[in-house]
Structures are given as C-alpha cells and as structure tokens.
Amino acid sequence: MFTTVSFLVTRLPELNNRRAWETFEARYSPMLQRYFIKSGCNSDVARDLAQDAIQRAATGLREGRFEKSSGRLRDWIGGIARNVVRNHRRRAANRSSAQPQTGFWSEQEDPSAQEELHRSDEQFDALWVRHRLSSLLRVASTNFSTKDMRCYFLVEVRGLPIRVVAKRIGISETSVFQKRRSVANWLLAMGPRFISQWEK
C-alpha cells in the first residue's frame, strides 16, 4: 500500500510513530543520497548528508514548518537539501582555505551563483521525478509478474522491438505485446492517482 504525503505530514509530529518515520526515510533518503552524489559528494558523505536532510525535514514537519497550502513538499525538501550541501561545502572550504567564499555560497557577490542554484533546482526536480517513477514501477511490480514487467521495460524503456524481446524472453510476439500493454494500461490508469498521492 502506498503512503501519501498527507499521512506522513500528519503522523510525523507523533514522535513515536515509527511507521511514519521509516516510510519517510525509505521514500526520500535514496533520492537525497543520489542528489548529494551528483552534487560532488562521495557515497559516505552523501549518506551522512541525506540523514542530516531527512532529520531536518522530519523536525520541520513535526514543528509545523511545512504547510501544504504554501507549496509542494518537493520544493521544501529540495530547499533543505540545497542548504545541507551548501553548508557542507562551506565547512569544507573553510577547513581547506581562508579565502573568501564565492560562487555557490553568495548570490550577492557572484552572478554565476544564481545560475548554479537554478541548475541545482533542476537537478533535484529531475531526481525527484525519477524517484517517483521508480516507486510507481515498484508498486506495479507487485501487481504483475516478472515477465510482464520485463516485457514492459524492454519495449518501453529500452526501446527494443517486440520481435527482439519475444526472442530474448522465449515467448510469442503477441504475448510480449499483451504483457507490455497490460502494464502500460495499468500505469496510465494508476499513474495520475499515484502522483497525486505522492505530491499532496
């Protein structure tokens, strides 16, 4: 069963709600780790920064700092992630040099900083959407066989011709077409509802 953002937002303030905390961490931690790795961190640092961002977001939710009426959770968590990586870079730069900070740190001093922040926003949004799609495909995999999902993936994602997929899997072209279509139809029917629950 998919847990909505509304469930998480209402349950995280209950400090002892372990299910809400585990769901929140499982949903957002992998995506945050990928974001920090793409921001130039090694995997150990990315894991630590993701935990920091998760804890800050959970604390903010518990304290009522996120209001659904004022924006998307994606943007709010993205802001937290950008601040976490910025603070990490600032600390690292301060440890290695006494030079004044420019670029990523100060939009006032360096005009290219705004560009970098915009790229960072786009990167975070792309990772968010990809992570949401991966979650939807995981839900789909509980409703379909491995063979069904493989037919869908090879045809729709990898772009292989149906005849090639049929030969690779060892089934008829008609079966590949039917399996791919079943998964695609389910995704078309469930996708909007899933995305709505993910974002609201």
pLDDT in tens, 65-87: 877 777 777 788 888 998 898 88
Q: Domain check: are 26 and 58 in the same one?
A: yes
Q: Domain check: are 69 and 122 in the same one?
A: yes
pLDDT in tens, 149-161: 999 989 988 899 9
DSSP H stretches of helix in 39-172: 43-62, 73-96, 112-141, 146-152, 162-169
Q: Domain check: are 29 and 85 in the same one?
A: yes
* Intervals of the chain under pLDDT 50: 1, 15, 100-114
Q: What pTM does this model have? A: 0.58
CB 83 within 8 A of CB 32: no
CB 112 within 8 A of CB 66: no
Domain boundary among 120, 136, 152: 136
79/77 Cα distance (integer angstroms): 5
Distance in angstroms between the alpha carbons of the first and the last residue of the chain: 16
Q: Domain total for the chain?
A: 2
Q: Domain check: are 4 and 26 in the same one?
A: yes
Which residue range forms the structural domain that includes residue 11?
Answer: 1-136
